[in-house]
Amino acid sequence: MAVQKRIRGGKARWVARYRSPSGKEHSKTFDTRREATAWLAERERELRRGEWIDPNERNITLLELVEEIGSTFTRESTRNSYDFLARNLGPLADMPLRAIRRSDLEKWQAQLLSGRPWQGGKPLYQSTVNGMRGRLNNSLKIAINDGLLTHNPLAKVSRIEPERRTIAPRDIPDENWIEIFITNIKNPALLLMVKIAVATGMRASEIAGLSTTDIDPAGCSIHVSYQAHRRKGHLLPLKTPSSYRVILITPDLMGEIREWIAEHPHPSGRLFVTRTGRPMSYDAMQKAWETAVERSGLQGGFTWHSLRHYHATKLIRAGVPIKTVQARLGHASAAMTLDIYLHAIPGDDELAARVAGDLLPHAGPARDGDKRLKAI
């Protein structure tokens, strides 16, 4: 490593030179010896600490990094999630990796929650932001392993603790709503899908992903094995191990499903397809749902997931063990099921108070002169 003086055109210039770990020489020219010496000292410090990065790779932007990493995944849903991250990097997108600071990431995270200026001020849910954060963290770790970064600026940015998701009574349709809705459905495919949702608590994407091989007439059960892509309808793996499950149903519902299979066979083996023969998707189900709700004259606000809540709360109120409810819903734990539906059954507090009252002995009030009472 050295600083050398060069005269060009009668003007003195100072050239600082050093060699990288690979032996390649790097240099930079300055107007003063002081500038050259300071620059060279900084490069020496980086080399000693293992923080040196090839100048040719210093200017890669965060957007370029995320797009490159996202393209390496084979699973479409994963690639889509990285595409979503890339579209929502905001002011970070064109920043060189080495220029990104902790404060930049804190501001970005806050904008995702409060409202994204690059998306008309629309905010994102905490769970969505945490998912994006996880993918960004993975990208930065890969950049470190590839020698593009020396440290992860996201490491010290506080993770958002998601609010505990609970269901309130207003989120769940009552029996009257369900009865009127089912009675007014004219679309036979929609009618059967709604009945399955009410009777099993399955997610809409899971119902859309059903195939004839998932139906077990002998066991009178449905095997939840896949979910359908939200828009395109093709089959995707379920997100968690607990989502793979077997749900028992009534013989009557099984009879309706078997009749449907016999009358509406499809070469793909899918249980439900659209009117044009395309695989059923959540978007197609939701469109049919909204049309049916409007035609029935019922209040809006409920969704396919509301039927899942209806199923769960009915089972809990009927005294079905919480572990059984958990298994039918595909939750990871019974605690998760309790946390979600704890506030959805308004009469339970009153019931608890009555039972607690019965625990007390039915004796008269204590008399002031009762010598048998002692302070403790």
Which pLDDT does position 347 carry in this prediction? 61
- Fold (CATH) for 169-342: hpI Integrase; Chain A (1.10.443)
SS3 state of residue 333: coil
Domain 62-146 has CATH 1.10.150: yes
Q: Burial level of 68, CB count in 10 A (0-12/13-18/19+)?
A: middle
* 66-107: pLDDT as tens digits: 998 998 888 877 888 899 999 999 999 999 888 899 999 999
Tokens matching residue 82 = 């990285």
pLDDT, position 203: 96
Distance linking the first and last C-alpha atoms of the chain: 84
State the pLDDT at residue 12: 84
Confidence of residue 15 (pLDDT cuts 50, 70, 90): confident
Q: What is the mean pLDDT of residues 181-208?
A: 96
| Ranges 25-39, 53-67, 310-324: which has the least confidence | 53-67
Q: Could you tell me the pLDDT band of residue 365, with boundaries at 50, 70 and 90?
A: low
Question: Do 326 and 337 contact (CB within 8 A), yes or no?
Answer: yes
Mean pLDDT of the chain: 86
pLDDT at 55: 62
Phi, psi dihedral angles at 339 (to 5 degrees): -60, -40
| Chain segment 301-334, per-residue pLDDT in tens | 899 999 999 999 999 989 899 999 999 999 989 9
319: which DSSP letter?
A: T
Element (H, E) at 17: strand 11-19
